[in-house]
A and B are shown apart, each in its own frame.
Chain A
Amino acid sequence: MSDTTIQSTHTIQLTLKPGQHDGDGQRVAEAAARHLGLRTGRVRSAALYTVRYPLSETQLRDFATRCLADPVLHDVRLNELTGAEGYATYILVARRPGVTDDEGTSAQNALADLLNEPLDVHTQHIFSKKLYLLENDLPETNLRRIAEELLGNKLINWLEVGRVADGIRDYTPRPGGGAEAITEVVSLTGLSDAELLQLSKDNIYALNLEEMRAVRDYFAAADTQAERKAAGLPADPTDCELEIIAQTWSEHCKHKEFAAVINYKDTETGEEKQIDSLFKTYIKNATSEVDRQLRANGNDWLIKVFSDNAGAVRINPDSLFVWKVETHNSPSAIDPYGGAITGILGNNRDPLATGIGGARLLFNTNVLCFGNPEFDGQLLTGQLHPRRILEGVRKGIEDGGNKSGVPTVNGAIVFDDRYAGKPLVYCGTGAVMPMQFAGLDSWEKKIDAGDRIIMAGGRVGKDGIHGATFSSIELDETAPATAVQIGSPITQKLAMDFLLLAARRGLLKCSTDNGAGGLSSSVGELAGISGGAVVELERVPLKYPGLRPWEIFVSESQERFTLVVEPGKMAELLALGQEMEVELTDIGFFTADGFLDVRFDGAPVARLNMEFLHEGVPRKTLEAEWTKPATAEPQIPAATDYTETLAQLLGSLNICSRESVIRQYDHEVKGRTIVKPLMGATGQAPQDAAVVRFNFESWEGVAVSNGILPRYGDLDAYDMSAGSFDEAVRQIIAVGGKLPNLTPGDNIFWSVNDNFCVPDSVYDPASNPDGKQKLAKLVRMCEALRDATAAYCIPLTSGKDSMKNDFKADGVKISVPPTVLYSMTAKMEDVRRAITSDFKQADDVVYLLGETHDELGGSEFYALHGQLGANVPKVDFAKAKALYTLIGQANDQNLIQSCHDLSDGGLAVALAETTFGYGYGAEIELPATGLPLATQLFSESHSRFVATVAPEDVVAFEQLLGERATRLGRVTADSKLTVRHAGQTVIAADSASLRTAWTNGPVNNLLGVVSNYNLSHSNSL
């Protein structure tokens, strides 16, 4: 071929030069052996790029060798797809049409630079793939298992496998055919109830019969008919209209169950009551009462609650703290990596697009609930192994956080077999926003008729269609492929950088995120402010042709914002977008005529009355009935030495070190993280709450904590919820935070998000016979929430509920235990005065703060013995508040050297953990009288801490704390933890050996432990 011949399709293959370590190939071989029991022999990996762009041979060679290949590492092959000597089989991993291919996009970018040609990087010209050559001649079924279980996901990847000798089959996605400007009419007239329900199910509307009837009645109404005729729409609804209604009315977007009327009955007390909306009664009203108390005391920092994408509180006269936590459970169940990464990026967009938009992201947190990753039973159809979910989600969080430059400052992982169907993936993001942008209050969302609607960021494809409705129903083996979304952190980073500048230059009137429900949701909600909108769908840029108008409108393709811009500022905004390479498209304008009006090429696609759309959903009435579970305390023989028990607890799934996970998250980018998840000279002392400073000019910062204790809910959901709330509060107290509103005008903000994740709690005699009990648990969780916020004067500012966390397949249903996460943030006036958990110096005096009770119910100690027990830990809010207030005073006087909150595993585990930072030990003497030894060691009573005090401060400390502090002993230099009781040594262990037990627990072992003490474990994918 001469150089003048221009070919339009090329393949570039990069392989490692001989002698270069093929880590990717090695990991595939190891993972196949370890997870699937398959012997692959050696595995060799190669990167493939298919280029669909006219290039001469010289251009192709230059591109491959200068831009794609690393001269030190790679050999290049052009336009050939051949194996290598000694490799019998292959697996080729490509992407399905429309799936985000960041690597291909980057390659296009490089090609454009090399050629110095403008090349539309929003259209895919280069497709990246991976090719694995395997030494062993494995049968196709085994190759497919490796491909599907380790290397790709059938929903997003195209996987080719086979023998090299038969030729390597390539695959490059071809986008679908021409434009599909088709809008269909769906007739509801005369449909029977059964037909209405079938229509809802077939189209994944996730609407119940009453809702379907309301839709039918709206369209049948005479005034609707007249309006539609005048506007040129058919009498029956269009597909787009039904999709908009289904999305807007979805549980995900409308929170119908939290808004329902609930008839509650307590079978024990006989009490019956009617609850007029859980949200209004227990969350909104409780926060209103807290706000009243705060304002009465000169604390007016609560700025925006429940009415925007995230809650906002005032840090100081110049800036706001914005806080949002959400879940992404259903997507993570079917595509753990994609579900988690879009969870993070999606949650990031909430604070980014609060008020006007343009907050600076400060940190992420993640709380994850999984099934046992060592599960070795039979999986249900469509169910992914818990280990695979864990590994995929972890990787998604790594890429989502790290590539966005947002530190993941803390989190938690909870294991329970009931999360094996649907995992829970909670993503939290804190951000800082100036009080004003270009003279306007930053937290306000104002829109007037005539303002333009701008879509910013990524393009629209079929990915993520029906995400909002799909997550509102239980998951089964028929999960739709299109519900999967693929995240692109780099696309979002560009959009984020752009938003920051656009807001600061006063170019934005306001903005919102395109998340669940896509444009339908974002424009639909914003249109509520002005009173209507016109959207011209043919303007929306697509990833590829073939989308119908309704698909464009509800697609949840990621990394998109909807911006509201005054017409006069359009030119400057578009210029900035071009400079920063962020695609901006004017897709319509806001109106005040009361209609959401959607068009394609001038033809009407949807026209819905805004009031019907937002207020027309029928209210649900639900039944709840609480029966106290029959429980009993087990008889566990007392022992005289608990050293081994302590080591077992430290190595247990729910207590052991998460270091292998934590270190793969960047927890200190931005350089502001002061208390990280692991601290101390060893870097292995676990901490209670994270502390992050806001900037480099002051020492003000924020403490961040998570409270989640699902297993207590098996005993009493009220105590579980109260305990979770207290756990998050006491973690912040432990690091030196102070309760709010203790003194007038102290301006110590607290901002809390509640996230409820429960199984289907709507009673049905056949499909959900214990639905009333499940709903009663939710009611009790909410009651505890109300009591806790009132007791501590701590407000909720935002939150989310996820109501259908069930997985159904093969006639089996796996339901999550009712779970609530309280994600708390509180202002730290001076981060330099933060307290860490680990012991600081020999001879410091060790105290137990708070009261221990006979509360081993639901404890890790009982779990070790296979027991649940009965005595669930209860929170005494008044006593807890008094203790926390005193600890704050002690910190004002610099009396506390270390402080660690007591949680899983009780006092014994907390004592062990406080020695992990430097290798100090402790001599501890437990009270001889009172509670039995095992209870003192392992009870998980709330509102307690282990704290140390310098010898010279002991008198002042004891005077201040009084009976609330129990002196236990002293810190020693010898790294031995010795606990004595009634003259006997009951625990005696070296700190290093306890740390090894904790570090070598199942989580680090499974993911490849990363520590000085165990270097022999291999990595997994």
Chain B
Amino acid sequence: MVQDSAQGAHKVQSEVQAGAVRALVLTGFGINCEEEFAAAYRLAGAEATIVHFNQVLHGQVSIHDFDVLNFPGGFSFGDDLGSGVVLANKLRYRQTSAAGRTLLDDIKQFIADGKFVLGICNGFQVLVKLGLLPNLGGDVTPEVTLTHNASGRYEDRWVTLRVNPASRTPFLTGIDKLEVPVRHGEGRLVVPDDATRAAIEAAGLNCLSYIDANGDGTSEYPLNPNGADLNCAGLTDPTGQVFGLMPHPEAFLAAYNHPDWARRRRQNPGASEEGEGLQIFKNIVAHIAEKHTTKAATVQLANQN
């Protein structure tokens, strides 16, 4: 049930050149940003495969055949019990084998193998509700939550983000500021207590902040569109391998997505046609490709010896 081809996932993968970065993009059950998510990886030079969630759940596709696992935005299961809740619940409880193994077990293994997980918007909500973010305690238990915006409404508007210099995730390498659209009704990060807040800050897990015109983190609406704690738009886990954010970098793949593109291109006709959001995908693809190269070199070396 691979969405973007009539063939099976194994077939698609067999066409993948050795060393290519392989991104698995989940879809189904109300996820709806899978196409632009996959396009982002392709534009960044990776192989992207869109797979229905049930194919993974039922074992027809293994996440371990991929380098980066992606949870796109949308309204998984309608978000009726709170954003991302039902999907997180499925990952945690639905057994995929008689041995009682769950997909969460697989994801833990995937991360332990040094691989990467990215969640955007609803995907970020899934990772938070599951406890993969921020995962301070390392036991994948929910520590913070994402809930209704302070404004009480869903909104689509563009915001400016700053990358926390203390963040070490390869997704954000070399990025200082980023303009992106937010499109959500439940993006307000709530951290339950000061200790958790301090721990997140100390580890630099609050990797993205909503900022004002001066470049300072802000709680002022609508610059901070949801009233998030720590003015926080995105989190990583302590390894930096798991990254989630409310805004949509995959909706800014071309310069022409920006609301002010026409004036900006008049000012600067030679500017890149790429959107700023693409850099996140280029970063992780480059990082994984480099790892592959290093690994391949090591293997080659080992073979020679």
Q: Tell me the complex Cα distance, A933–B81, Å.
A: 59
Q: Tell me the complex Cα distance, A172–B262, Å.
A: 55
Quick one: CB contact mask for A671-695 with B, threshold 8 Å, 1 for yes?
Answer: 1111010111101000000000100
Q: Are A1010 and B183 in contact (CB under 8 A)?
A: no
User: Given A405-B74, A840-B262 in contact, is the A674-B256 Cβ separation under 8 Å?
Assistant: yes
State the interface size on chain A (CB cutoff 8 A): 81
Q: Are A840 and B151 in contact (CB under 8 A)?
A: no
Question: CB of B253 within 8 A of chain A?
Answer: yes
Q: Are B85 and A580 in contact (CB under 8 A)?
A: no
Quick one: CB contact mask for B75-88 with A, threshold 8 Å, 1 for yes?
Answer: 10111111001100
A451 to chain B minimum Cβ distance, whole angstroms, is: 22
A59 to chain B minimum Cβ distance, whole angstroms, is: 12
What residues of chain B lie closer than 8 Å to A68, measured between beta carbons? 81, 85
B86 to chain A minimum Cβ distance, whole angstroms, is: 5
What residues of chain B lie closer than 8 Å to A897, measured between beta carbons? 266
Q: Are B257 and A489 in contact (CB under 8 A)?
A: no
Pick the contact of B77 from A490, A576, A836 — CB < 8 Å?
A: A490
Of all chain A residues, the one with the shortest Cβ separation from B42 is A696
Q: Are B80 and A103 in contact (CB under 8 A)?
A: yes
Question: CB of A669 within 8 A of chain B?
Answer: yes
Question: CB of A192 within 8 A of chain B?
Answer: no
What residues of chain B lie closer than 8 Å to A696, measured between beta carbons? 36, 39, 42-43, 253
Q: In this complex, which of B3, B27, B30 has the most chain A Cβ atoms within 10 angstroms of its Cβ?
A: B30
Of all chain A residues, the one with the shortest Cβ separation from B36 is A671
Of all chain B residues, the one with the shortest Cβ separation from A504 is B6
Q: Tell me the complex Cα distance, A446–B182, Å.
A: 44
B181 to chain A minimum Cβ distance, whole angstroms, is: 6
Question: CB of A851 within 8 A of chain B?
Answer: no
What residues of chain A lie closer than 8 Å to B6, measured between beta carbons? 504-505
What residues of chain A lie closer than 8 Å to B45, measured between beta carbons? none
What residues of chain A lie closer than 8 Å to B33, measured between beta carbons? 405, 669-671
Q: In this complex, which of B129, B192, B263 has the most chain A Cβ atoms within 10 angstroms of its Cβ?
A: B263
Q: Are B78 and A106 in contact (CB under 8 A)?
A: yes
User: Given A501-B3, A668-B181, A834-B262 in contact, is the A405-B221 Cβ separation under 8 Å?
Assistant: no
Pick the contact of B263 from A102, A116, A832, A917 — CB < 8 Å?
A: A917
Q: Are A114 and B93 in contact (CB under 8 A)?
A: yes
B141 to chain A minimum Cβ distance, whole angstroms, is: 8
Q: Tell me the complex Cα distance, A1008–B58, Å.
A: 46
Q: Are B77 and A106 in contact (CB under 8 A)?
A: yes
User: Given A103-B81, A674-B256 in contact, is the A663-B74 Cβ separation under 8 Å?
Assistant: no
Q: Are B260 and A102 in contact (CB under 8 A)?
A: no
Q: Tell me the complex Cα distance, A72–B147, Å.
A: 10
A:160-174 near B, CB below 8 Å: none
User: Given A113-B94, A834-B262 in contact, is the A102-B86 Cβ separation under 8 Å?
Assistant: no
Quick one: CB contact mask for B144-168 with A, threshold 8 Å, 1 for yes?
Answer: 1101101111111110000000000
User: Given A106-B86, A581-B54, A671-B39 in contact, is the A840-B263 Cβ separation under 8 Å?
Assistant: yes
Question: CB of A959 within 8 A of chain B?
Answer: no
Q: Tell me the complex Cα distance, A836–B258, Å.
A: 12
What residues of chain A lie closer than 8 Å to B28, measured between beta carbons? 494, 497, 580
Q: Tell me the complex Cα distance, A1012–B218, Å.
A: 14
Q: Are B81 and A918 in contact (CB under 8 A)?
A: no
What residues of chain B lie closer than 8 Å to A505, measured between beta carbons? 6
Interface bracket on B: 35 or more
Q: Tell me the complex Cα distance, A123–B93, Å.
A: 22
Q: Are B1 and A116 in contact (CB under 8 A)?
A: no
A:712-753 near B, CB below 8 Å: none
Q: Are A836 and B262 in contact (CB under 8 A)?
A: yes
What residues of chain B lie closer than 8 Å to A501, measured between beta carbons? 1, 3
Q: Are B263 and A838 in contact (CB under 8 A)?
A: yes
Pick the contact of B52 from A73, A116, A580 — CB < 8 Å?
A: A580
Q: In this complex, which of A501, A664, A666, A671 has the most chain B Cβ atoms within 10 angstroms of its Cβ?
A: A671
Q: Tell me the complex Cα distance, A676–B252, Å.
A: 14
Q: Are B253 and A671 in contact (CB under 8 A)?
A: yes
What residues of chain B lie closer than 8 Å to A951, measured between beta carbons? none
Of all chain A residues, the one with the shortest Cβ separation from B55 is A579
Q: Tell me the complex Cα distance, A128–B80, Å.
A: 10
A250 to chain B minimum Cβ distance, whole angstroms, is: 32
What residues of chain B lie closer than 8 Å to A110, measured between beta carbons? 81, 85-86, 89-90
What residues of chain A lie closer than 8 Å to B261, measured between beta carbons? 674
Q: Are A493 and B30 in contact (CB under 8 A)?
A: yes
Question: CB of A224 within 8 A of chain B?
Answer: no
Q: Are B263 and A681 in contact (CB under 8 A)?
A: yes
Q: Are A835 and B262 in contact (CB under 8 A)?
A: yes
Question: CB of A403 within 8 A of chain B?
Answer: yes
Q: Are A116 and B158 in contact (CB under 8 A)?
A: no
Q: Tell me the complex Cα distance, A128–B54, Å.
A: 26
B185 to chain A minimum Cβ distance, whole angstroms, is: 8
Q: Are B27 and A497 in contact (CB under 8 A)?
A: yes
Q: Are A680 and B147 in contact (CB under 8 A)?
A: no
Q: Are A402 and B154 in contact (CB under 8 A)?
A: yes
User: Given A405-B33, A505-B6 in contact, is the A663-B81 Cβ separation under 8 Å?
Assistant: no
Of all chain A residues, the one with the shortest Cβ separation from B227 is A21
Question: CB of A67 within 8 A of chain B?
Answer: yes
Of all chain B residues, the one with the shortest Cβ separation from A406 is B32
Q: Tell me the complex Cα distance, A116–B89, Å.
A: 11
Q: In this complex, which of A66, A663, A836 has the most chain B Cβ atoms within 10 angstroms of its Cβ?
A: A663
Question: CB of A585 within 8 A of chain B?
Answer: no
Pick the contact of A666 from B42, B183, B256 — CB < 8 Å?
A: B183
Q: Are A116 and B94 in contact (CB under 8 A)?
A: yes
Question: CB of A963 within 8 A of chain B?
Answer: no
Q: Are A116 and B86 in contact (CB under 8 A)?
A: no
Q: Are A1019 and B153 in contact (CB under 8 A)?
A: yes
Of all chain A residues, the one with the shortest Cβ separation from B266 is A840
A500 to chain B minimum Cβ distance, whole angstroms, is: 8
Question: CB of B283 within 8 A of chain A?
Answer: no
B:208-222 near A, CB below 8 Å: 221-222
Of all chain A residues, the one with the shortest Cβ separation from B2 is A501
Quick one: CB contact mask for A38-67 with B, threshold 8 Å, 1 for yes?
Answer: 000000000000000000000000000011
Q: Tell me the complex Cα distance, A233–B294, Å.
A: 80
Pick the contact of A831 from B54, B142, B256 — CB < 8 Å?
A: B256
Q: Tell me the complex Cα distance, A360–B194, Å.
A: 47
Question: CB of B95 within 8 A of chain A?
Answer: yes
Q: Tell me the complex Cα distance, A410–B157, Å.
A: 15
Of all chain A residues, the one with the shortest Cβ separation from B141 is A71
Question: CB of A871 within 8 A of chain B?
Answer: no
B201 to chain A minimum Cβ distance, whole angstroms, is: 18
Question: CB of A841 within 8 A of chain B?
Answer: yes
A710 to chain B minimum Cβ distance, whole angstroms, is: 29
User: Given A70-B147, A1010-B151 in contact, is the A680-B263 Cβ separation under 8 Å?
Assistant: yes
Q: Are B222 and A1010 in contact (CB under 8 A)?
A: yes
Question: CB of A398 within 8 A of chain B?
Answer: yes
Question: CB of A27 within 8 A of chain B?
Answer: yes
A:65-102 near B, CB below 8 Å: 66-68, 70-73, 102
B103 to chain A minimum Cβ distance, whole angstroms, is: 11
What residues of chain A lie closer than 8 Å to B205, measured between beta carbons? none
Question: CB of A665 within 8 A of chain B?
Answer: yes
Question: CB of A194 within 8 A of chain B?
Answer: no
Q: Are A669 and B183 in contact (CB under 8 A)?
A: yes
Q: Are A490 and B153 in contact (CB under 8 A)?
A: no
4 more A-B contacts (CB under 8 A) besides A20-B190, A490-B78, A1012-B222? A66-B89, A670-B33, A671-B39, A679-B260
- A-B contacts, 20 of them at CB < 8 A, read A68-B81, A72-B145, A72-B190, A105-B80, A109-B86, A402-B154, A403-B78, A405-B31, A490-B30, A497-B28, A497-B52, A500-B3, A670-B35, A672-B36, A681-B260, A683-B158, A832-B273, A1008-B151, A1010-B151, A1015-B221
Residues of B within 8 A of A (CB): 1, 3, 6, 27-33, 35-36, 39, 42-43, 52, 54-55, 58, 73-75, 77-82, 85-86, 89-90, 93-95, 129, 142, 144-145, 147-148, 150-158, 181, 183, 190, 192, 221-222, 248, 250-253, 256-257, 259-263, 266-267, 273
